[in-house]
Amino acid sequence: MSRLEGQVALITGSSSGLGRATALAMAKEGANVVVNYIGRQEAADEVVDKIQAMGRGAMAYRADVSVEEQVQAMFAAAIEEFGALDTLVNNAGLQRDANLIDMSLADWNKVIDVNLTGQFLCAREALRHFMAREERPEVSKARGKIICMSSVHEAIPWAGHVNYAASKAGVMMMMKSIAQEVGPMNIRVNSIAPGAIRTPINTSAWETPEAYSALMELIPQRRIGEPEDVGNVAVWLASDESDYVHGASIFVGGGMMLYPGFADGG
């Protein structure tokens, strides 16, 4: 349990859901963790307490990832606290759902600002740090790693969620373009694309037996994902075990990308 020993990870939106699971999974593997949050400080503090109880370093930092000055201040504080950064997990995201004809410009902009522009701002700060410092071969073969949290909806259209699907498709192409740009610098960039995961953002999809049964029709593996399923993949992508994985979207969705509607011939 030490694949990330001595590394420092900054995980946006890590006071709950996928970010929380990723923060705890990376700490279990030896990483010190910066827990970013925007809402409930007590939730972020709880994650910090759990990480520190493992004997790892942790700090909570409140920042809106869509605000440039706050992102820059967060990275500066993280580097001041731990001396370096090895992995960024671009996880913060949200939904503001409506049919397109009813969607407000404010809701369109908010989702794009957080889900896509926020990932751009954080990736840019991480890259500036990676490129300004010496490599750290004692903790990682790569100069730095960026893991973007995308969605199966980077590829699957989603009526009623046009802003969210567009933001995640943008994350996919942004990730691949950054990977192409920085690969020669020994910086690895990849995405995790979760499907249906048991998190607060999609409670309505699994909280009742009827909703869960309908959801299972979309998942060949016939179970909902748990946050730890995503956290475990993030650990692998941050570790040297995945050192030759670059520019990849890894789908974690129980087979949602297999077009289950065609299982019986369509």
- The SS3 of residue 149 is strand
For 208, counting Cβ atoms within 10 Å of its Cβ (0-12 exposed, 13-18 middle, 19+ buried), the class is: exposed
- The SS3 of residue 163 is helix
Task: Tell me the C-alpha distance between 135 and 131, whole Å.
Answer: 9
User: Which residues carry out catalysis?
Assistant: 164
Measured between its terminal Cα atoms, the distance across the chain in Å is 44
- Relative orientation angle of helices 227-238 and 17-28, to the nearest 10 degrees: 50
- Cα→Cα distances 161→34, 101, 119, 164, 209, Å: 30, 12, 19, 5, 23
Tokens 């994902």 correspond to what residue?
225
**Sign of torsion, CA 55 57 60 63?**
negative
Among candidate residues 141, 124, 115, the one with its CA nearest the CA of residue 246? 141
- Buried b / exposed e over 210-225, threshold 16 CB at 10 Å, is eeeeebbebbeeeebb
Q: How many CB atoms lie within 10 A of CB 83?
A: 11
